[in-house]
């Protein structure tokens, strides 16, 4: 399906080229294939459509429009669906090295950061801390000097004699 968001607005000047197109008044089935059409029948229909396009005074505008909106169906400006797809694919492949270059640069930056970390991380201290943690029965060293209730108020667990609820001091 065509991406209509890429179409220009309702400004008639942008569409005037269609008024002088050689395909005006020609049956659209010449330019758009019926479902399931293949092989020789499709090639013959596309060749006939291209003949109309070759004598069209606005062929370039038509092809430019079809490529700009990535028109997926029909013959436009003498270009078939497959020809336009190949042209758009080439333009996508031209952009791919930029994405590959960006990805390679991100990978290099990650490597630099990793090396920087390894250079400054004191591996011997980490191993010593781990040995102490293992000796204390805390294999991960997570509970050294940790009190989850530190800083919280104490609760009076005995209710008052008159049946009042518990008090926080």
Give the model confidence (pLDDT) of 87-125 as tens digits.
887 654 444 455 567 777 778 777 777 666 665 555 555
More confident residue, 75 or 132: 75
Is the model more confident about 134 or about 43? 43
- Rounded Cα–Cα distance for residues 99 and 115 (Å): 24
Annotated binding-site residues for [4Fe-4S] cluster read 23, 53, 56, 62
The annotation places the binding site at 23, 53, 56, 62
The pLDDT mean for the chain works out to 74
Q: CB under 8 Å to 46, separation ≥6 — which residues?
A: 33, 75, 80
Separation CA 155–CA 153 (nearest Å): 6
Asked if 133 and 140 touch (Cβ cutoff 8 Å), the reply is: yes
Task: Work out the average pLDDT over 42-46.
Answer: 94
Q: Which of 50, 15, 18, 57 has its CA nearest to residue 31?
A: 50
Residue at token pair 């990978």: 107
Lowest mean pLDDT among 7-16, 40-49, 96-105, 135-144: 135-144
The model's confidence at residue 58, banded by pLDDT at 50, 70 and 90, is very high
Return the higher-pLDDT residue of 51 and 104.
51
SS3 168: strand
Residue pair 32/76 in contact by the 8 Å Cβ criterion: no
- CB-CB contact of 61 with 17 (8 Å): yes
Cα 56 to Cα 50: distance, rounded to the nearest angstrom: 10
| Phi then psi dihedrals of residue 153, to 5 deg | -70, 150
**Phi and psi angles of residue 24, each rounded to the nearest 5 degrees, phi first:** -60, 125
């Amino acid at each position: 399906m065509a991406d209509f968001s890429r179409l220009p607005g309702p400004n008639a000047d942008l569409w005037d080229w269609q008024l002088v197109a050689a395909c005006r008044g020609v049956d659209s089935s010449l330019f758009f294939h019926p479902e399931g059409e293949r092989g020789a029948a499709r090639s013959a229909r596309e060749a006939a459509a291209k003949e109309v396009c070759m004598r069209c005074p606005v062929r370039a505008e038509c092809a430019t429009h079809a490529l700009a909106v990535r028109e997926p169906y029909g013959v436009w400006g003498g270009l078939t669906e497959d020809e336009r797809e190949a042209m758009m694919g080439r333009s996508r492949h031209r952009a791919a090295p930029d994405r590959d270059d960006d990805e390679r640069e991100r990978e290099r930056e990650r490597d630099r950061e990793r090396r920087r970390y390894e250079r400054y991380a004191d591996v011997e201290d980490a191993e010593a801390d781990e040995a102490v943690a293992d000796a204390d029965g805390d294999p991960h060293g997570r509970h050294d000097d940790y009190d989850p209730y530190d800083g919280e108020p104490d609760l009076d667990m005995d209710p008052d004699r008159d049946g009042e609820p518990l008090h926080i001091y």
